[in-house]
A and B are shown apart, each in its own frame.
Chain A
């Protein structure tokens, strides 16, 4: 099919004696919200880090939008079109919210030393475009009024939003979110969910890792379940909910 956005197969990753991932693969369709769930230590974040180039896989094939990409370095992955957020928020703390998002534009802009020093027409225009786009994205995620705040002084929920805005600034084809709802209360989760649907509506495909099964069931188009580094189920949320292997993984087997 032509509208497969992300096609990953046969990923193995070993840390010393620990086989963290065994033959893991996923297929994400264009425009989907795709969920990846699993108990603690199942290898979700490892898989995530492999996809985004932070860890080097031992084996595996990687294809984005029909073209193979090499997850050899995070910046190359970002350039290819996968942007990510982190489980523990990693913002540029001393920069303003706006500057954080402006950094996200780095990979799609070009001005170097010469443009910086002489600020010729093209450099000025690019800088203005970066600023305008960054403000637009802050408005999009709903924290436009905090543009000039220092990032580390934002509230927890707003920091999550800022991280998403920063990731969106790289013009990703796939937005990969590592436990975006971690530590959020019920109201914040509802707001997050609305935001994710809005991002999906804007044409960005989303890969989501999450603990909160309830949030995932209502939100995701498809879900994969990892346990002990192996994929144990894949399907529609309703199927996953009834899957015996998944229930055992989460609740323990019937003895």
Chain B
């Protein structure tokens, strides 16, 4: 990491130059990748969403030190919120309500117009994003509240349970009122529209988005949107980290009792960490739903929570550039394997000996073991402070020998 540095405190010029270079590379990247097929850009889109998730989780796990194994629940909340408010699903919900509470249905129809009965609700992205952030933040605080007195393993188990509860809710909330359409998931979610331009491309445009006279593939359009959101997330989380609140989070991570004694209201500050982290997850979820056009409970399994946690831990817990790197590596790895390993085996042996999915699990496990043994602080940990510089150390030793 000698060439790129993001240590804005100690090497501001170098780090801003690094950021500029990286941004330029990121902007050109999809056009290069698209030469090898749109699926590569699609992989990048997903990687960017995972980075957003990892950055959100980093607030909870990295800064505040609260091990959260159910983080994907907030991703699910964002995704399902979008599913409900930007697809025909709301019409299905109304239909299920009619038998129980006709008066409620009438009220809703009166508010939103007759159209809602057949077409559901189709909110614009400008409402969806803040709404997803707020709803996920609310869920973050709700799920965080019962865990306030728990630490370490116990916290991990409870959050894991909450994550599963949310998924099971998604799986079963189709009766008596059809919120989520159960295991079938919600289909036909609106693509994102920004100033009237659909990022999925208009019908008949073969998934090409025209901005002015200039056409780019839909996946590239999403890429730029997600890239922007990632940059906003990085900006916000790094500002939070270097603030009064960020210090309070780290203080709680380091020693909760001492933090309390220093006047930090640990209950409020921890809840804030849960809800801030969750809100980024919610926005990522909303983007995921609009990007895929489809959500189902399967996308929000425990393994996803663990994958996001692995990104944080593997990259460098509490260190934003490290977390981003972890996100890129772990999100891209399975896709790269799928594209490289299977064809390679096909060419070598004439058949696929180990499937990419199996190999991915194997490599995940190996990587985690290797990292924990050799670099427990992650691949790219926080820069160490002035840790007993050589001169000071020598001086101390001299003093000791004289004493």
Contacts and interface: CB of A to CB of B under 8 A. Distances in A.
Nearest to B268: A75
A119 B239 contact: yes
A96 to B, nearest CB: 5
Given A79-B263, A111-B244, A117 B257 contact: no
A92 interface: yes
A103 B261 contact: no
Given A94-B250, A107-B262, A113 B244 contact: no
A50 to B, nearest CB: 13
Interface string B241-264: 001111110110011011111111
A109 interface: yes
A125 interface: no
Contacts of B254: 91-95
A103 B262 contact: yes
Contacts of A92: 250-251, 254-255, 258-259
A91 B255 contact: yes
B247 A99 contact: yes
A74 B248 CA distance: 15
B255 A90 contact: yes
Interface in A86-133: 86, 90-96, 99, 102-109, 111-113, 115-117, 119, 123, 126-127, 130
Contact of A103 (B248, B257, B386, B396): B248
Contact of A148 (B251, B257, B385): B385
A26 interface: no
Contacts of A119: 239
Contacts of A150: 384-387
A209 B248 CA distance: 28
Contacts of B244: 105-106, 109, 111, 115-116, 126-127, 130
A115 B386 CA distance: 29
B263 A170 contact: yes
A103 B243 contact: no
Nearest to A80: B263
- What is the size category of the interface that chain A forms with chain B? 35 or more
A78 interface: yes
Given A113-B245, A149-B387, A103 B264 contact: yes
Given A92-B251, A115-B243, A130-B244, A104 B262 contact: yes
A148 B386 contact: yes
A153 interface: yes
B245 A149 contact: no
A78 B263 contact: yes
Contact of A75 (B240, B246, B266, B384): B266
B265 interface: yes
A75 B251 contact: no
Nearest to A126: B244
B245 to A, nearest CB: 5
Contacts of B246: 116
Interface string A68-86: 0000011100110001101
Contact of B265 (A54, A75, A113, A169): A75
Contacts of A107: 262-264
- Name the 4 nearest CB pairs between A and B, nearest first: A107-B263, A78-B263, A116-B243, A92-B254
